[in-house]
Chains A and B, each alone.
With several copies, the nearest count.
Chain A
Amino acid sequence: MIEKVLIANRGEIALRVIRTCKVLGIKTVAVYSDEDRNSLHVKQATEAYHIGEAAPAKSYLNQEKIMEVMLSSGTDAVHPGYGFLSENDDFARLCEKNKINFIGPSADSMDLCGDKMKCKDAMLKADVPTVPGSPGLVKDADDAEKIANKIGYPVMLKSVYGGGGRGIRIVTNDKELHEGYESVTGESIAAVGKSAILVEKFLEKTRHIEYQMARDTHGNTVHIFERECSIQRRNQKLIEQTPSPAVDDETRARIGEIVCRAADAVDYTNLGTAEFLRADNGEFYFIEINARLQVEHPITELVSGLDLVKLQLDIANGEPIPFKQSDLKMNGYAIECRINAEDTFLDFAPSTGPVPDVTIPAGPSVRCDTYLFPGCSVSPFYDSLMAKLCTWGQTFEESRTRMLSALNDFYIQGVETSIPLYKTILNSDEYKNGELSTDFLKRHDMIERLTKDLKKEKEEKSDAALAAAIIYSEYFKSRIQTRVGNNSNWKNKLG
Chain B
Amino acid sequence: MDYKIPDIEKSFEGKITENLGNNEYVIKINDDEHKLKIINMNSKGIEFILDQNYHRAKYLEQSTNEMNLVIDNVPITLNTNAHFDEIVYKNTGGGGSGNAQLSLKSQIPGKVVSIAVADGDSVKKGDVVCTLESMKMQVAVKAHKDGSIKSIKIKEGGTVAKGDPVADIE
Contacts and interface: CB of A to CB of B under 8 A. Distances in A.
Interface residues of B, number: 71
Interface stretch (B3-11, B94-102, B120-128, B145-153): B3-11
A462 B71 CA distance: 9
B144 interface: no
Interface string B52-72: 111111110010000101111
Contacts of B114: 484-486
Contact of A468 (B54, B71, B133): B71
Given A462-B12, A465-B78, A467-B14, A42 B54 contact: yes
A350 B52 contact: no
A343 interface: yes
A410 to B, nearest CB: 8
A408 B56 CA distance: 13
A463 B50 contact: yes
A408 B73 CA distance: 8
Nearest to A56: B136
Interface string A44-77: 1111110000000000000000000000010000
B37 to A, nearest CB: 8
A484 B110 CA distance: 8
B10 A491 contact: no
A413 interface: yes
A479 interface: yes
A47 B52 contact: yes
Contacts of A42: 39, 49, 54
A163 B111 CA distance: 22
B139 A38 contact: no
Contact of A470 (B1, B43, B137): B1
Contact of A413 (B16, B58, B84, B136): B58
Which of A353, A459, A476, A495 gathers most chain B CB within 10 Å?
A: A476
B34 A48 contact: no
B29 to A, nearest CB: 5
Interface size class of A (residues with CB under 8 A): 35 or more
B134 A458 contact: no
B5 A458 contact: yes
A464 B108 contact: no
Contact of B69 (A46, A351, A469, A486): A469
A487 B41 contact: yes
A467 B29 contact: yes
Contact of A49 (B22, B48, B52, B78): B52
B103 to A, nearest CB: 18
Contacts of B38: 471, 491
Contacts of A46: 53
Interface stretch (A152-160, A191-199, A377-385): A377-385
A425 B146 CA distance: 36
A468 B3 CA distance: 12
A135 to B, nearest CB: 33
17 contacts: A346-B108, A349-B137, A349-B139, A350-B108, A350-B135, A413-B58, A454-B7, A455-B8, A463-B29, A465-B57, A466-B12, A467-B48, A467-B55, A470-B15, A473-B1, A487-B135, A495-B23
Given A473-B1, A483-B162, A487-B40, 8 more contacts: A346-B107, A349-B134, A462-B12, A464-B55, A464-B71, A469-B67, A482-B109, A490-B135
Task: Give the 10 A-B CB pairs with smallest separation, nearest first.
Answer: A468-B57, A485-B134, A350-B135, A476-B84, A47-B52, A464-B55, A350-B134, A465-B76, A411-B73, A465-B71
